[in-house]
Structure 1
């Protein structure tokens, strides 16, 4: 893919990811002030990168993650925060990905949301984080992966932070048609090396573009390492920020290149090969799933849970060292 460019074309989608400075906010008024700052980022980035089609902001970039006031800062979707983002996208003719943590949920704890807004200022997707980062995150887990048609027809799938550590979530997103998986995250040290590598691995094993926006700087709890990046569908890095707050980087993603690769690659075509096992030996390959755990999980979730607990522990509470050692010895 082209690197070092600030342009795009009819065949390429210009994507920017932002190392947004982690906000420390105490009131809804401060949240809305921060939303206007994000809107200014949209405008400035579009001016600096005229090829920009999609800009991505990290998880927690809107409301932050206040250790005691997080519930007070929750909102609705649509709401006053997304209204500001919608106007910024409409005004600057760009698509944008934004974070809402959290969206009020009448049936339980709030949701952690990935919001995709188009260049007309319309909300096109509201994805709820499937695997909240336990034990610290209080968000109610979402129950489905989501993919929509994005700028210039590129298919965009949503992940939020810890979601991308679960290979099944990314694979399901890709199997719904995603050509670009966007991961918004609020990841802190000491997980820097692992999370940078995860983006490349998920891109390679799913033949998919990956765009990651991470926060940078310190809030009341953590120091976030930044390193927002854009990964090619072969797992190589197209662009990457450092660790400084408010860095922005940019890359072009070719639509025809990924579609051509998915159609023509052989040994590297991990999506085709998944359901055409051994086609060099068996005509058209074998489509039947060989993975017994996934069959069990689909048919009997409680049994699947028991299998996991037999390998780990049988309670959300972390056992004492004595209990853990005894549990392992008694297996």
Structure 2
């Protein structure tokens, strides 16, 4: 894809990612004032990049992650925060990705949410983070990946921060049809180098556009490294911010180019090759899953957990239980 433009066309989706300044918020009133600031970013970015079709804000950009008051700042979806975002999208005729941390959950702890709003102000997706970051994040885990048709027909999938460290989530999202996987994150030092590289890896192994919006600056606990970026489906970085708060960068994504690659690429077509193993030697290739752990996980989740724990560790609760049993 060409880079350096502020335009788009019928075949391309213009996308912007924001290195949003991490907010430190103490009340619902401060959260709503921050939402209005985010809305001003939508307006200003559309003015500066007239080709803009979708703008992406990081995880925790709405409510922050207050170490003691996080539960007091939770809300509903829809709610007053998404109402402000919806009006900004409708007014500026752009789609937007926003973070809600968290959404009140009648089953237990709140959800960590990726909210996609279209250019008419309608909520098109509310994805719940499947893999909250342990041991710090208190969010109730989601249970399904999500994909919807976005601007100009480009299919969009959602990831939140630690989700993308799990290759299974991105692969499942792409296998549901995603052509652009958007990762909203609140990642801090010292994980900068790993997380920047991860975006290109996930794009390359899944033949997908990959866009990341990350926090920048410091809150009460962490320093965030920014480097929001937009990656081509071949793993090449199309645009990338630095580490400064409130940077915005932009690229255009060709719809026909990614569909052509998925249809016609051979050796680099990791999606096709996954279920057509050895098709140069075997007619139509072999589709059977050769991965014993995934078979076990599907058929016997408890056994899969035991395998994992034998390789790694148990939870603190399990350690305490075993210590009680030995007393």
State the TM-score, normalized to the length of structure 1: 0.96
Matches for 1:61-72 after TM superposition, within 5 Å: 61-72=61-72
| Equivalent-residue separation in structure 2 for 1:212 and 1:167 (angstroms) | 16
| Equivalent-residue separation in structure 2 for 1:309 and 1:227 (angstroms) | 34
Matched residue, 1:247: 247
1:105-127 deviation digits (Å, cap 9, x = unpaired): 01100000000000000000000
Matches for 1:258-297 after TM superposition, within 5 Å: 258-297=258-297
Matched, 1:10 2:10: yes
Matched residue, 1:328: none
**Structure 2 unaligned residues grouped into runs of 5+:** none
| Equivalent-residue separation in structure 1 for 2:145 and 2:313 (angstroms) | 27
- The number of residues matched between the two structures is 321
Matched residue, 1:204: 204
How many angstroms does 1:313 deviate by? 1.4
| Equivalent-residue separation in structure 2 for 1:281 and 1:317 (angstroms) | 50
Matched residue, 2:58: 58
How many angstroms does 1:63 deviate by? 0.1
Matched residue, 1:111: 111
Matched residue, 2:178: 178
Matched residue, 1:129: 129
1:119-153 deviation digits (Å, cap 9, x = unpaired): 00000000000000000000000000000000000
Matched residue, 1:308: 308
| Equivalent-residue separation in structure 2 for 1:227 and 1:317 (angstroms) | 36
Range moving further from structure 2, 308-317 or 190-199 = 308-317
1:61-94 deviation digits (Å, cap 9, x = unpaired): 0000000000000000000000000000000000
| Equivalent-residue separation in structure 2 for 1:232 and 1:43 (angstroms) | 26
Matched residue, 2:148: 148
Counterpart secondary structure, 2:126: strand
Matched residue, 2:91: 91
How many angstroms does 1:318 deviate by? 9.9
| Equivalent-residue separation in structure 1 for 2:316 and 2:199 (angstroms) | 28
**Structure 1 unaligned residues grouped into runs of 5+:** 324-331
| Equivalent-residue separation in structure 2 for 1:158 and 1:283 (angstroms) | 35
1:252-306 deviation digits (Å, cap 9, x = unpaired): 0000000000000000000000000000000000000000100000010000000
Runs of 4 or more, structure 1, over 3 Å off, are: 316-320
How many angstroms does 1:314 deviate by? 2.4
| Equivalent-residue separation in structure 2 for 1:259 and 1:10 (angstroms) | 15
Matched residue, 1:216: 216
Counterpart secondary structure, 2:83: helix
Matched residue, 2:161: 161
| Equivalent-residue separation in structure 2 for 1:319 and 1:203 (angstroms) | 38
How many angstroms does 1:35 deviate by? 0.1
How many angstroms does 1:319 deviate by? 7.2
Alpha-carbon RMSD across the aligned residues, in angstroms, is: 1.2
Matched residue, 2:20: 20
